[in-house]
Amino acid sequence: MPNLRRILAVGTLTAALGGAAVYGGLRYANSINNDLAAGPPQPTVTTTAPSAPYGTGDPSHYRYGAPIARAAGGEVIAYTPRHEAQRMLTIPFTITNNGGTAASYQATVTVTVTTGEHAGHADTVTISSEGLLPPKNTMATQARFQSLGAIPSRDLEVRILHVEKKGTA
């Protein structure tokens, strides 16, 4: 009798699995028929445009706040420094090409500590447009300072020392 029970159990299990396979196969065939009746899939429409490295908006479009330094007739503007994670000081900049031809920009920026035990300490970096900026366009960039991450932004002086603009002929 124990063998008969095993045979019946295996038979029942086999029938259940077979039934599930047949049912699943029929459901799959039905879904294919429904897909064919509906026609080819419709293309998906993407509503977000890829981000551009520059735009025709005003520098205030970037919402960096009040400018703290300007150079090259207002084409290069520095904004209030921000403290980021891992004690990183970030200074946002906008570069605007007010000329009539595309140009590349490179600016030397110095940040000096004005008060406290680190007064007089300065750090210098170079920012650039990293290529040609079309006329009447503005782009954003930033300078990062690991060495100044612990200094409050009110104790810093930001100066744009030199701007080199190379236009196309």
Give the count of domains, the chain.
Answer: 2
What is the full per-residue pLDDT of the chain (169 aa) written as tens digits?
556 676 766 666 566 556 655 555 555 555 555 555 555 444 433 333 333 456 777 788 888 889 999 999 999 999 999 888 777 889 999 999 999 999 999 999 999 999 988 899 999 999 999 899 999 999 999 998 888 888 888 899 999 999 999 987 5
* CA pair distance 53, 95, nearest whole angstrom: 11
Q: Is residue 45 part of a domain?
A: no
Q: Is residue 12 part of a domain?
A: yes
* CA pair distance 119, 112, nearest whole angstrom: 8
Distance set, CA 14 to CA 19, 26, 28, 47, 76 (Å): 8, 18, 21, 51, 77
Q: Is residue 51 part of a domain?
A: no
By residue range, what is the domain housing residue 95? 59-167
Q: Is residue 48 part of a domain?
A: no
DSSP states along 120-161: T-EEEEEEE-SS-B-TTEEEEEEEEESTTTTS-GGGEEEEEE
pTM of the model: 0.65
